[in-house]
Structure 1
Amino acid sequence: MKWRKKKDMKEKPLEELSQEEILEKYDRESSYRKNLGKWSWVVLFLGVSLTLFHLYTGYRGAFEARIQGPIHLGTALGLIFLLYPIKKGLHRKQKGVPWYDVVLAFTALGVGYYNVINYEELVAQKIVFGYSQMDIIVASLGVLLVLEAARRCVGLPIVAVAGVAILYALYGNHIPTKMFAHRGFSWEKLATDLYLTTKGIFSTPIQVSSTFIFLFLFFGVMLIRTGVGQFFNDVAFALTGRFIGGQAKAAVVASALEGMVSGSSVANTVGSGAFTIPMMKKAGYKPEFAAAVEASASTGGQIMPPVMGAAAFIMASYTNTPYSQIMLAAIIPAILYFLGVFLGVHFESKKQGIIGTPKSQLPSFRKLMTERGYLILPLIVIFYTLLTGKTPMRAALVAILVAFLVSLVRKETRMTPWQIVKTLEEGARTALPVIAACAAAGIIVGVVVQTGLGGRIANGIITLGGGSLILTLFFTMIACLILGMGLPTTANYIVTATMVAPALVLGLDVPVLAAHMFVFYFGIVADITPPVCLAAYAGAGLAGANPFMTGVRAFTLATAAYIIPYVFVMNPQMILIDVKPLFLTICVVTAIIGMIGVSSAMVGYLVRKAYVWERIVLFIAGLLLISPNITFSVIGSVLLIAVAVIQSRRPKETNNLFTATI
């Protein structure tokens, strides 16, 4: 009891936490040691070496997977044990690195490079003669170190899922149900398959992480160094600040722009929210709404091309689809997502009577583009290089070079040699949680593939759905949201793409890309889905708001995100599959109008404040408009117009939606 009281006394109220403390509380990857003492030089050396290794392989081409992956993972594991303490929160209390973490770090390095040193022997001789006792010991240590590293910088849930997968592999022969039973594996067989081959830890997730993902994450770091974040904020306010609810609309636009170079919902929420949330509160928005706007907009960043979340690169490999095609396929759904949030902000602003900021107090768009418009050049370059057929590695490498050159234009962003070195180190540190998540997810993938569990789960979902596409999609959505409560987006996608997406592809003939985009989307929006909605909780910390109610408001604002995936599964043209230009144009236009119906229904305002029955009709009208069926869209249009006419005849409260400035 005394311990509990003492612990409670140390807990700060949410509204008293600093920006850094909020980020560390809700973003596990930010809880790393800052005071490393003499070990800071080791971290610097390993971090810079890891980044330079990826820049080198990006230029000359990647090594064979059994060399590239172990160098990538082994160095990352060493860094993780030096940077992340054994218990969350200790990074603030400890000075230097404890001896046991030093031992773990160098053990991880040794275990990681074991595959590289013994590459030829492991590839050739072990197939014939089997593995030695030393191989088994190293493989066992490798699996355990990956799990511990993931626990430290990603969180316990992914370790729990991986742990259950390992137990299932070892004791599957004792399961009485025929549907899930299998012959079982010995620990020696399982550990060596997971660590010494490309069937587990070094399977597709780590292969993609060690080639594409790392370079794109480093590109994001370089772009931030150019000052592009503040530029995006200024552009957003210049474009939308003077209109109704301009402060909140600017937050949506800024997060959409920043989302193009950031892959973390929580980090984006805290980074942008530190500036936008106080502005929204000052304008008159309630704290819960202000935090919800930032959280929902920031979460959408992972679906915004050109640099989407890390899972998008793994999707390219899983679906055998060029990343450039995935990038293009994501454009329409991303626009609809942010439009939904934008319209929700508009109707809430109309409802509360919140006006924009006077034009005289806003930055000039023309001046911004004249003075700092060159900052978007790296993004243009990465779009162009990907669309011209270059590999993602080469596109990222060219964009990194352009971002560096852009940083030289202004004195305040020009880096000294020491700052360049620190940027190289930061690039490696930023990638560590993604590397750990991919490695742990590789354990799950290895078990699922080797035991045949994926096929069994796919058959189970199809059976549960009774052959109905909508029901199967619904159960798939639930699985993604539940997993997303504990797993980061990348790991969530890897697991669901392995176990759930096949149910849609094989059982219901859903196009491969549509099925994978479906699970990708719902893995992302889990960050704003109550009760566990980390992006919303982080925003609530900045706003001094109720975390759960912030999650509820974020859910309502981003309702479109829960509808759009169903739309592109039923109408793959929305993700540019088998496109018929006229039909696609009609679908996009009706979907945009449908967003008006859905958003106004969730907020409770169209032309006037809506009655309950009007909100129900508006929501139905929105769904009908968003559907790919022309007849339904016509009915939805009639319903939407009818509600607008009925409301416009009531006593005038505000300007009509169709004459108001958006």
Structure 2
Amino acid sequence: MATQTGNGATTTSTTADDLVAQVETGARHPAGWQSNLFLAIAFSWALYQLYIATGLPYALAEATGLNFFLGTLQHARRIHLAFAMVLAAMAYPLLRSSPRHTIPIYDWLLAAAALVACFYAVVNYDDIANRSGSFNSTDIAIGALGLMVLGIGVYRSLGLPLLIVVAVFVAYVFFGAYSWVPETIRWKGASVGKALWHFWIQDEGVFGAPVAISASMIFLFVLFGSILEKAGAGNYFIKLAFSLLGHLRGGPAKAAVVASALSGVYSGSSIANVVTTGTFTIPLMKKTGFSAEKAGAVEVASSTNGQLTPPVMGAAAFLMAEFTGVPYTDLLKHALIPAVVSYIALVYIVHLEALKLGLKGLDKPSPTLSASARLLRVLGGMILTVVLFLAVYYLLDAIAKVFPGLTLTSVIVVCAIAYVVLLMIAARRPDLEVDDPNAELKTLPAAGDVAITGLYYLLPIVVLIWAILPTPEKLSPALAASWACFAMIAIALTQHPLKAMFRGETDRIRESFMLGVRECFEGMVAGSRSMISIAVATGAAGVIVGALSLTGMHNVILEFVEVISAGNLLVLLVLVAVMSLILGMGLPTTANYIVVSALMAPVIVTLGAKSGLIIPLVAAHLFVFYFGILADDTPPVGLAAFAAAAISGGDPIKTGIQGFMYDIRTALLPFLFIFNTDILLIDVSFGGAILVFCSAVIAMMLFAAATQGYFFAKSYWWESLVLLLVAFTLFRPGFWLDLITPEFDLRPGTEIVRHAEKQPKDGELQIVVKGPNINNPKRIDQTTLVVPLGKPGKGVQRLEKAGLMVTMEGNVAKLEEPTFASKFVKLAKMFDFYGDKPVQIETVMLPNPRMPKELFYIPGLLLLGLIILLQRRRQTQPAF
């Protein structure tokens, strides 16, 4: 339904909501008893996920002596996917002509087939375990049924692109051994029974790691965000952002960026983020002077970047932690600076747009205090917040030392007291209403008045962060999310009746409690609906991962990409970026990340090593993750751009192009942290982290100014080039240092024993290994390794303890095949250790003594000062 705005534009928010339903939660809304059944199943799914996240299954099994309760936990992957596929059959129409308000008989049959396929291994668990990998005809039939039902679920909830990708991998498993398949990609093959057993009955295919993570962690974080949103936190964050930033140049656009960043903390969808915040922000941006396309593009860029925001990161953070082996908390640390820098740069881009258009901010309320009094109040509030935080932290630390078992209880008590106090303060102000975005907004609300009405929404987020950070009672991400969910449920149920009580409205307590019950129920159902496509996507990803593990397809992909890129790492990264964008146009963030990371992340690391660059696995995974997210605003399919255009009334293609132009800075970041891992805070000290953050912020703002063609004034073309040069220098000062003094002194491989002996305790050696390729002995490959040497000792012994057996044969440092226990066992899959030519250590790379690379900041900043001086002379309006 279209709504006419004050300036004549049309806001089709219903269309945007419909788009979210089609893509995220299902376009079908059954009526009558079918609706009640759907709601009951969705609510039951949320309850089940909360149940298995706690220790309740163990407690019930111990109390009753029934193994049934342990079974509900043991088979969580299959139960999780069963819920998802049943709800997919009910919520997502199979065909365009399928009914939208009733569930046809064929969907009931597909739901029943999904239940049979998922619960077959649950019911026959003991029999399957006793057969020790031997399959029968029933296993084969169920495996085929399961793959068919999953494929239909993928098609209806995620679309044709992912189904095609999955079908290609399945086809390769079944037909990749035939003689008509080119020899370069042919594999030895497997029987139909073995393949179906691998895909469906075992836990290595569909029910592998992706579904396990979806069941144990992703669901809980999505549920937390849904309840938080339904309880009113989304509206609170939008109002808070507007009250703080609305008076600045381009204030509504800046508020949209900040509101989307706050929503990104708990949201797992850029499209839903666009609709949630964009319904309010886009009309206001248009009223202050932004065109429909630019208003939509700002919201699209903000919302897609919301998927980069820890701790959820579009629900992919947990998968990334599992795939890379990096602890979840370390992953959040690695992702922090790129996300913050990206958002600061987007705020600055919006500011530059406002300067170019000559825009002003919205009027803010007249101050009742002097400027000095307001400053003192702000500083006092900040100091008080820091003091309270430190007091609570050290109090909990003291309790943990004296009473180790009471820390969690103490947190609950402290948060409960804080909740009641904050709610009492909030009750003194009227509740925040959801404003009509098309109404005139002449004066902004006071930031302080808005802030105190919803501070208690931050408590569950505080609980979540406290629980996953290194604390005396550090919890797993799953348990931390469950505690945050329970905290949010408690707030949803009690906030309205407690406010009514504090306001003396005792006659409204029951009504207010029922409102809280409804919001909690709607939040849990919304969480389940949002998880349907994610859970199905992880099941499909399991097929891809299973196909890779069964066929060894990684080697084929590696050779293919190496030929296409001619061994050039930069060309490879561009190819991977394009591939991620193309796949991401039709896939949700989670599915895109799983597919591309499974295919390309190992290739990036391997080819990087062949090029002499050690790329951390987490950097490769973040690279593909970033470009998968950017697909949401990439024409012609960018779904977030279509959602924003539906609200703004602008052209979706132009909106997508403009949004992608705003997001160029985000596309730059992955290339930068591949070559400069300091940005990911890998092996960086606290002082170094501060320096990296400051230099990255300045560099990204300069990059934004260069691409926008405006700094203090409109830039000449050569000024933009100089700004790009300065930005590059601040991002990667080591590039210039490498031109003066090489990073490594390259020594012959025969010197490895001597240099290994010289290294200090826990030192490292970087070496280049060269030898015949295991699949094509005529081809000589090489790779770069970092060898940890541990305690001091003889060189040969230190190398052996590190996992390398080195023998000297003439002028060659021959490397023996690593054992399975060695951390370098992957070399056995790369090189032929038993061929005519030996695998040898070609080069030892010793770090050269060099001056600090940060010295190159000085000429960069001097150039920046020159540009500022020149532009200040042409400046016609304040730059800030």
Q: TM-score, normalised by structure 1?
A: 0.92
> Aligned pair 1:60/2:55, yes or no?
yes
Matches for 1:473-552 after TM superposition, within 5 Å: 473-508=573-608, 509-552=614-657
Matches for 1:281-296 after TM superposition, within 5 Å: 281-296=286-301
Kept in 2, the 8 Å contact 1:37–1:95? The answer is: no
Kept in 1, the 8 Å contact 2:243–2:445? The answer is: yes
511 and 95 in structure 1: CA distance in 2 versus 1, 3 angstrom threshold: closer
Show CA shifts across 1:200-241 (max 9, x none).
100110010011011111111111122111110111112211
Matched residue, 1:401: 486
Matched residue, 1:8: none
- Supply the AA of the counterpart residue of 2:32: G
Counterpart CA distance in 2 for 1:587 and 1:417 is: 47
**1:99 Cα deviation (Å)?**
0.9
Matched residue, 1:4: none
Gaps of 5+ in 1: 1-14
More helix by share: 1
Counterpart CA distance in 2 for 1:559 and 1:638 is: 26
**1:177 Cα deviation (Å)?**
3.4
Q: Report SS of the residue matched to 1:87.
A: coil
Match of 2:456 among 374, 390, 394: 374
> Aligned pair 1:556/2:661, yes or no?
yes
> Aligned pair 1:616/2:721, yes or no?
yes
Match of 1:83 among 91, 96, 101: 91
Counterpart CA distance in 2 for 1:434 and 1:85 is: 17
243 and 40 in structure 1: CA distance in 2 versus 1, 3 angstrom threshold: same
Deviates more, 1:337-346 or 1:43-52: 43-52
580 and 460 in structure 1: CA distance in 2 versus 1, 3 angstrom threshold: farther
Matched residue, 2:841: none
Kept in 2, the 8 Å contact 1:476–1:500? The answer is: yes
Matched residue, 1:43: 38
- Supply the AA of the counterpart residue of 1:71: I
558 and 286 in structure 1: CA distance in 2 versus 1, 3 angstrom threshold: same
Counterpart CA distance in 2 for 1:183 and 1:604 is: 57
**1:190 Cα deviation (Å)?**
1.9
Matched residue, 2:572: 472
Kept in 2, the 8 Å contact 1:22–1:542? The answer is: yes
**1:416 Cα deviation (Å)?**
4.8
Counterpart CA distance in 2 for 1:426 and 1:250 is: 26
Counterpart CA distance in 1 for 2:592 and 2:203 is: 20
Q: Report SS of the residue matched to 2:621.
A: helix
Matched residue, 2:693: 588
Kept in 2, the 8 Å contact 1:306–1:382? The answer is: no
Kept in 1, the 8 Å contact 2:15–2:646? The answer is: no
Counterpart CA distance in 1 for 2:217 and 2:733 is: 35
- Supply the AA of the counterpart residue of 2:28: R
Q: Report SS of the residue matched to 1:173.
A: coil
Show CA shifts across 1:444-481 (max 9, x none).
11112211112321343345444444333222222222
Aligned CA RMSD, in angstroms, stands at: 2.2
Kept in 1, the 8 Å contact 2:294–2:658? The answer is: yes
Deviates more, 1:33-42 or 1:446-455: 33-42
Q: Report SS of the residue matched to 1:32.
A: coil
429 and 189 in structure 1: CA distance in 2 versus 1, 3 angstrom threshold: same
Higher relative contact order (CA 8 A, sep 6+): 1
**1:418 Cα deviation (Å)?**
5.2
Number of equivalent positions: 638
Matches for 1:145-544 after TM superposition, within 5 Å: 145-174=149-178, 176-360=181-365, 361-387=443-469, 388=471, 389-407=474-492, 408-411=494-497, 414=513, 415-417=515-517, 419-508=519-608, 509-544=614-649
Counterpart CA distance in 2 for 1:283 and 1:585 is: 36
Matched residue, 1:603: 708
Q: Report SS of the residue matched to 2:183.
A: coil
Matched residue, 2:106: 100
- Supply the AA of the counterpart residue of 1:354: L
Q: Report SS of the residue matched to 1:530.
A: coil
**1:488 Cα deviation (Å)?**
1.6
Counterpart CA distance in 2 for 1:104 and 1:336 is: 47
561 and 649 in structure 1: CA distance in 2 versus 1, 3 angstrom threshold: same
Kept in 2, the 8 Å contact 1:458–1:503? The answer is: yes
Counterpart CA distance in 2 for 1:632 and 1:88 is: 60
468 and 582 in structure 1: CA distance in 2 versus 1, 3 angstrom threshold: farther
Kept in 2, the 8 Å contact 1:484–1:527? The answer is: yes
Matched residue, 1:11: none
Q: Report SS of the residue matched to 1:95.
A: coil
**1:489 Cα deviation (Å)?**
1.3
Matched residue, 2:863: 639
Kept in 2, the 8 Å contact 1:623–1:636? The answer is: no
Counterpart CA distance in 2 for 1:311 and 1:61 is: 27
Counterpart CA distance in 1 for 2:265 and 2:465 is: 11
Q: Report SS of the residue matched to 1:397.
A: helix
> Aligned pair 1:574/2:582, yes or no?
no
Kept in 2, the 8 Å contact 1:340–1:557? The answer is: no
Gaps of 5+ in 2: 1-8, 58-69, 366-442, 500-511, 609-613, 735-853
Q: Report SS of the residue matched to 1:589.
A: helix
- Supply the AA of the counterpart residue of 2:603: A
> Aligned pair 1:25/2:19, yes or no?
yes
- Supply the AA of the counterpart residue of 1:358: D
Matched residue, 1:5: none
**1:288 Cα deviation (Å)?**
0.8
Between structure 1 and structure 2, the one with the greater Rg is 2
Show CA shifts across 1:539-588 (max 9, x none).
11211112222112111212221111122222223222111333333222
Show CA shifts across 1:70-90 (max 9, x none).
111112211111121112474
Matched residue, 2:757: none
Counterpart CA distance in 2 for 1:643 and 1:530 is: 35
Q: Report SS of the residue matched to 1:409.
A: helix
473 and 240 in structure 1: CA distance in 2 versus 1, 3 angstrom threshold: same
